[in-house]
Amino acid sequence: MAQIRDVSKRAGVSPATVSRAFSDPSKLSKDTLKRVLKAAEELNYKPNSLAQVFRVKRTNTVLVLVPDIANVLFARVLSGIERIAAENNYLLLVSDTKDDIALERAGLEMVETLRADGIIQLGERPLGDLHTHPEPSKVPFVHAFDTPDAVPYPTVRINNVAAADAMASYLLALGHRRIGVLAGLKDRIVTRERLRGFRQALDSFGVPFEESLVEYGPYSMAGGAQSALRLLSRNRDLTALFTMSDEIAIGAVRTAMDLGLDLPANLSITGFDNIEFGKFCTPPLTTVMQPAERIGEVAMTLMCNLLAGETTGDAQQTLATELVIRSSAKRLAQA
Amino acid sequence: MAQIRDVSKRAGVSPATVSRAFSDPSKLSKDTLKRVLKAAEELNYKPNSLAQVFRVKRTNTVLVLVPDIANVLFARVLSGIERIAAENNYLLLVSDTKDDIALERAGLEMVETLRADGIIQLGERPLGDLHTHPEPSKVPFVHAFDTPDAVPYPTVRINNVAAADAMASYLLALGHRRIGVLAGLKDRIVTRERLRGFRQALDSFGVPFEESLVEYGPYSMAGGAQSALRLLSRNRDLTALFTMSDEIAIGAVRTAMDLGLDLPANLSITGFDNIEFGKFCTPPLTTVMQPAERIGEVAMTLMCNLLAGETTGDAQQTLATELVIRSSAKRLAQA
DNA sequence: TAGTTCAATACAAACGGTTTCATTTCAAGC
DNA sequence: GCTTGAAATGAAACCGTTTGTATTGAACTA
């Protein structure tokens, strides 16, 4: 591979000039610039980015910490991040942390040891806090998607409480009163927030909340199927299921159908997230749309600003959600 | 950040000794080693990996080119790659190429400019060939998942022809004779291969192939829904639909149901890939399992070998698929 | 005892760019 | 024609490691 010295010799200039030809062409005379570019072209010269990066101490790379790459939602967020990253000439290092705090720390270290300029973390971190440990850590950091609440760094999230409230209110407005809750993992912040929204809706409709009507479980189809089975066999009088994710909802639909229920006639079910599949399953899922790609885009944009040294303050972005009404939830038949 | 010089001074040795303390401790006397480690510990010294990488010319990073990160299958392959990468201490640069050849070239360049040690490419490349251009390119390269056929670099793939044959044979064995094909994009290699398998099955059952029974379209639920609509309204006598992906199948199911068909009584539908949803949708999807995570694992393992300088030959790995029989395809009722 | 060998360590040269600072060039102004 | 200042360019330091080679001294051999 040709190096800067070769080019400089061929163009009859110093290496410094060649360097400038790429980094700030305006500094060169028209003539020299042309000569240098020609020489570079002829030698097929590409600056060794390792050397560059080493000298400049900026990798133009950001590390993304994902709890589970294979998860549809995270994948979509990632896709949004990637779009903005590409636009701004950033590379993406992706690490699947499997919710493992050790791996997250390793990530932090990667930045300190200069492999990346900043970190975007997805998903709430169940254990500890990356940032309280040594000191508020000067590593550029953005937290997106299911972020914890009041944190000292930029976040981008949705208002889970309001969204859940809206969804539950819709169910209540349809006349449902006996509503089961298929919640996610009990220790998750999102779970607590969405439950809060649900109760809030109940309150405003003057319907009492019953702890026995909520069933916790993993955010997955299998989890939803199991939770639904437990909840449904315990409570025969439920007319609707408020679930905390589309996957849970789809699992619940499966269970309900296997139980011989006619959906949505016998049981209304709502989801959360609006994954693509919800539109095509049977019955098409009424749910709340969460702008996953957009969350990624905003997160990466925030990171770009951060790295550009713009003081974004503690930009806590909250993105809008939207009820998407399909046909898995129907007005309660007058008994 | 403390650097090697600081540590060496504090331990009263030369920088070289500190370096060796980390890279090859056996070279040091027990005593010095202890002293150096202590000093490093006290100064919280972490080698600047940028400098390291620059010196050694090995980034321990591999670039993964993905046509679409948000796609469930690619995400799963990625997950497999990630697992093995983590085990072997590799970092992953991920780039969503959007099937754009320019971006793929950019990727190649990244390796040439040394940001990554090798490339794993996912999905078939619809245009041109990365590798014929300048010369067979000495960049470590592995192609996984929907790879083209006879290529001069390691690949890991499934046998689409055989898998499609098996799936179609199953349908034929159930008594179906009028089978529509919901194919993927016409210019895709996978599409051609799966169609070949389908025809092969037809042949062995002595059933003639009718071009008019195949409908091409995108590999998506929306695509499947549309193709199904076209195909079904054109051919009223179809008893089964052989589709080329689970997403297509799910779209087709939606259409069929909207058309008032009773599934699978009126129409059998099979998928391909075995995405998780297939198990939970209605009716649960009969499909062929494609080991996505495993493909990723094998690909990354191949890459590790390649980078370790082991001559893997032109390791063309073909992984086993498996029919997964659920209930979207049933024996044809005797008319 | 002198010579040889070997382990342990130090020295200094890379690695391939970027950037500071000094110098040269050259047109404009007087 | 001389001065002046800006624009263009070059020389050399620098970034923080790794690594080939040289050095040292102790143990071992003949």
Q: Tens digit of pLDDT for each residue in A221-234?
A: 999 999 999 999 99
What does pLDDT average to over chain B? 92
What band does B147 get if pLDDT is binned at 50, 70 and 90? confident
The distance (Å) linking the CA of A54 with the C1' of C12 is 21
Enumerate domains of chain A plus CATH numbers: 4-47 (1.10.260), 59-156+292-318 (3.40.50.2300), 160-290 (3.40.50.2300)
Q: Is the pLDDT of residue B56 over 80?
A: yes
Rounded distance between C-alpha atoms, residue A169 and residue B240, angstroms: 42
Local structure of B322: helix, strand or coil: strand
* Contact residues on chain A for B49, CB-CB shorter than 8 A: 110, 113-115
- Contacts B69 to A, Cβ<8 Å: 75, 78-79, 82
Could B78 and A70 be called an inter-chain contact, meaning their C-beta atoms sit closer than 8 Å?
yes
Mean pLDDT in residue range A142-166: 90
Whether residue A149 has pLDDT greater than 80: no
pLDDT class for A334, splitting at 50, 70, 90?
Answer: low
The answer to whether B157 and B291 have CB atoms below 8 angstroms apart is no
CA dist B75 and A334 (Å) reads 46
pLDDT number for residue B99:
75
CA of B38 to C1' of C15 (A): 29
Find the length of chain A: 335
Nucleotides of D under 7 A from a protein CB: 7-12, 14-20
Residues of A in contact with B78 (CB under 8 A): 69-70, 94
Lowest mean pLDDT: which of A94-108, A181-195, A274-288, B179-193? A94-108
- CB B59 to CB A50 under 8 A? yes
Looking at residue A106, its pLDDT comes to 81
Q: In chain B, whose CA is at the least distance from the CA of A280? A: B254
Q: Which of B62-71, B119-128, B246-255 has the lowest mean pLDDT?
A: B119-128
Q: Cis peptide leading into A148, omega within 30 of 0?
A: no
Enclosing H/E stretch for A1: none
Q: What is the pLDDT of residue B126?
A: 56
In this structure, of A310-314, B11-15, B130-134, B228-232, the range with the lowest mean pLDDT score is B130-134
More confident residue, A1 or A52: A52
Identify the residue whose Cα has the smallest distance to the C1' of C12.
B16
Strands B214-215 and B118-122: unpaired
Q: Nearest chain B Cα to A59, which residue?
A: B50
Mean pLDDT of all residues in B94-109: 82
The residues of the protein lying within 7 Å (CB) of strand C read A 1, 3-5, 15-16, 18-20, 22-23, 47-48, 51-52, 54-56; B 12-17, 20, 27-29, 31-33, 54-55
Between the CA of A40 and the C1' of C19, what is the distance in angstroms? 21
Each residue's pLDDT tens digit, A98-130 = 878 777 778 778 888 889 999 999 998 754 455
Task: Please answer yes or no on whether B79 and A95 come within 8 Å at the CB atom.
Answer: no
